[in-house]
Amino acid sequence: MFTGIVECLGTVVEFTRLDTTAAGGNGASLAISGARSILDDCHLGDSIAINGTCLTVTEFTDDMFKVGLAPETLSRTNLGKLQPGDRVNLERALAAGHRFGGHFVQGHIDTTADIIEITPDANSIWYKLRVDDGRLMPYIIPKGFIAVDGTSLTVCDVNDEERWFTIMMIAYTQSHVVMPSKKVGNQVNIEVDMLGKYVEKVTTSILQGASTSDGSGTSSYIEKVVEKVLQKNK
């Protein structure tokens, strides 16, 4: 679990499609440097979010660490497009007892989005982003949470039909995340608010009768609501 509060910016050292070393495990891997400030308590197997993607540490030194990348990760995120020298957002998994400053972020990327507009506004910046997977638009609501490359942000405007939303980034955030280095056309990782997914699944199960084998869940629920209303109006 993460919070979407970026701890530091790292730098891509190497992206390897087939890493045959012990740490690479004969799969894709990503090596990140400039991470000294978050590696003082690191252990093999720990989780670190890179651009919002929860990944497992397979090797580390005082300043650098390596993670493995599964095919699913490469297909859903922008990590496979990273080049040596690119900056990335880094956040360790949340430790128990620490202040929770952002929102619930799993580090499980839902889709990517393209930056379609960047508009300065005083010392802040507006970003308009078009979501690749339109099925996720119901979970993106004005004033709701969203994680963009692992950064916890507040949604401003939403257009479901055109699959875009906007966020505004204040000056402090700009200086602590990778977003200001990106341009129109660049891709970012998106994780929608997971609480919305759970609420939808529970309510859908109730309304569709998915909780009963004979499909009577919906009628039972409606009967209870009607009975409650009738009792109230007696």
From 54, 113, 145, 147, active-site residue: 54
The first and second tokens of residue 171, run together, are: 């000056």
From 11, 47, 211, 218, active-site residue: 47
Catalytic residue flag (residue 154): yes
Contact 147, 173 (CB under 8 A): no
CA proximity to 204, closest of 138, 134, 131, 155: 138
From 20, 37, 61, 70, active-site residue: 70
Angle at 188 between CA 197 and CA 176, to 5 degrees: 105
DSSP state of 177: S
Catalytic residue flag (residue 96): no
From 11, 56, 205, 218, active-site residue: 56
Residue with tokens 């000294």: 36
Catalytic residue flag (residue 108): yes
Residue 194 half-sphere exposure, CB side, CA atoms within 13 Å? 14
Q: How many Å apart are CA 28 and CA 148, to the nearest integer?
A: 23
From 37, 154, 212, 220, active-site residue: 154
From 8, 104, 108, 111, active-site residue: 108
Q: How many Å apart are CA 71 and CA 32, to the nearest integer?
A: 19
Catalytic residue flag (residue 2): yes
- In angstroms, the Cα distances linking 58 to 17, 42, 69, 82, 159 are 16, 11, 11, 19, 41
**Catalytic residues, which ones?**
2, 47, 54, 56, 70, 108, 154
